[in-house]
Amino acid sequence: MTEYVSAWWVLEIPKHWYARDDAECVTFVPDTNIGALQISAYKKGGEVTDEDLIEFSGDLSGCTEHKRLKIYEFSGFTVIYSEGETYWKRWWLRSGEIMIFATYNCDLKEANRHADEVESIISTLKEKK
């Protein structure tokens, strides 16, 4: 595993994944180039609440799975859905003033190919100290 350090958070990615800093997020892609995990972070001038996460997430009526979760200091929820031929998993997480928005998408028929690795990556997400 390789540690990726951003301004406000850190996580670990498998050695066969690579990171690319984009303008609004960081993109993590496996060497198969199937799927992409993107993470963006925002800092609020006060504590981020569950209500902030819900407001930011918008309409979730088409989601097939909605689950609350806690990852180290972060808490929030994740959803899964498909749109056309694309599989989506999204996370909205918060810790103190930091809000994380993460998405993973790939071709629908490849949805399970990197699912365990993506979960493993997200499970290492910590606030940068």
Q: What is the mean pLDDT of residues 13-32?
A: 95
Amino acid identity at 32:
T
Q: How many angstroms separate the CA atoms of 53 and 59, rounded?
A: 12
Domains of the chain listed by start with CATH number: 2-127 (3.40.1000.10)
Query: What pTM was computed for the model?
Result: 0.91
Count CA atoms within 13 Å of residue 66 on its CB side. 7
Predicted local confidence at residue 66, as pLDDT: 67
Judge residue 99's burial from the number of C-beta atoms within 10 Å of its C-beta, 0-12 exposed, 13-18 middle, 19 or more buried.
buried
Predicted local confidence at residue 93, as pLDDT: 97
